[in-house]
Amino acid sequence: MAGARPKSRSASEPGEPSDAFIFFGATGDLAYKQIFPALADLIRDEGFDLPIIGVARSGDLDSLKERARRSLAEHGFTDAAATQALTDRLRYVKGSDEDIETFRALRRELGEARHPLHYLAVPPALFGEVVGCLQVSGCAAGARIIVEKPFGRDLASAVALNETIHEVFAEPDVFRIDHYLGKEPVQNLVYFRFANSFLEPLWNRDHVASVQINMPEAMDVADRGAFYDQAGAIRDVVQNHLLQVVSLLAMEPPSGHTPEAIRNEKYKVLDSIRPLVPDDLVRGQYRGYRDTKGVAADSSVETFVALRLHIDSWRWAGVPFYIRTGKCLPVTATEVLVEMKRPPQSLFGEAQQRDADYFRFRLSPDMSISLGALAKKPGEAMAGEPVELLASHESGSERPPYQRLIGDASRGDQSLFAGEDLVEAAWRVVNGVLDDKTPLNVYELGTWGPPEAAGVLDRGDRWHDPVATPRMAASK
């Protein structure tokens, strides 16, 4: 891009709705898999009536409309009226993300729009150039911007990227999208914690023995080898998805329901997590990963990680938080298990060791909350057996994450987006273990990762493997 960047800021009014939606990378996979279906859902369910402008290097308006139709058909979208409305609203600007003339053409296409919402569905390396061109062309005036993860590769790059974006956009106009935060089960964590009074007296180091988050994936990296070999499990899901779940589990009650109140408490959690050191984690790589297209023959990137977090706060001091995630594991699921401390004495003389009481939150593929406890077995003997009280929810009425997040961004609602302080705090947690210097353990496909993963657990703790559910079996 030619020319210097003026250091002005955009000025969309709080609560002012966006009046145009622009997505860069309109012919890419993200647009095909997520953005087109989300826009169609918004049109059908919420009357989303903004002009929709795609920007890409190749093709034309007719081919973009056909791509949108194929995307919706492939994703099972059957509302003909909404499909027609989406294609009718589509416009197209052909050009490079680094060419200022592309952005001047975009400004002309925007016409009378004064509060556009720009979605950067492009590689993060292009964010700086796109933001600068938006500024010079006038497309940033009064605008908001959505940027995809990964937001940086480490702490230094995230700080630099924030500085670049803030040369043009004020923080309230920046929406760092993480689709995981838009999922209904993840939001249910916050609701369950703070809508029920019985939980709060127990939710602390006096009663909780450990917290465990498992996010196994049965699939391999498939055709994402080139991307994944630049990321790995820590960058791909730990720094963003799973640390966000930790912040929701460990946060203090917010002062109100405003986005700022909730995000402030999440930040305090991330800021109080002790930065990881090599002894806190075990990395693994599934056998055959290096044979994947796009992966280096000598790759040291992890496809599995197990780690232990320490939260240095009054509520959680001394309580280990365990995270385990990886590819080619036995099932695909996301599950939180909060294990409670055992009673100080065994009143009934039962010598056999048993699992402690627990709360289990299943976040995917189905959503459920359960309480594990011990109940008396039928009969005269005072002997117990484990039972689980289960509440499940499968209404199917939840808005898909991208529909929710794009709709919220168009209204200026930051509730489900990560602020710059949260992003940088999360990178501080993992920054010290991103150098691939910790040992890499090979594990077999379909196992629960390398046996060495048990080394991050405190004595007496064990990994709780999520089990397959009927919904998992039906989805295969």
Query: How many Å is the Cα radius of gyration of the chain?
Result: 24
What is the rounded CA–CA span in Å between residue 265 and residue 42?
30
What is the rounded CA–CA span in Å between residue 465 and residue 214?
8
Edge-to-edge strand list for the sheet holding 20-24: 90-94, 52-56, 20-24, 116-120, 144-148, 174-177
CA angle 362, 248, 45 (to 5 degrees): 70
Task: Assess contact for 427 and 155: CB atoms under 8 A.
Answer: yes
User: Angle, to 10 degrees, between the axis of helix 243-250 and the axis of helix 420-430?
Assistant: 110
75 catalytic? Reply is no
What is the rounded CA–CA span in Å between residue 278 and residue 255?
36
Q: Is 312 exposed, middle or buried (0-12, 13-18, 19+ CB in 10 A)?
A: exposed
Hey, which residues does 369 pair with through a beta bridge?
361, 391
What is the rounded CA–CA span in Å between residue 384 and residue 360?
20
Catalytic, out of 118, 179, 241, 464: 241
With b for 16 or more beta-carbon neighbours within 10 A and e for fewer, the 77-94 pattern comes to: beeeebbebbbebbbbbb
Structure token digits, residue 173? 């106009």
Tell me the longest C-alpha to C-alpha distance in the chain: 86
Q: Which residues are catalytic?
A: 241
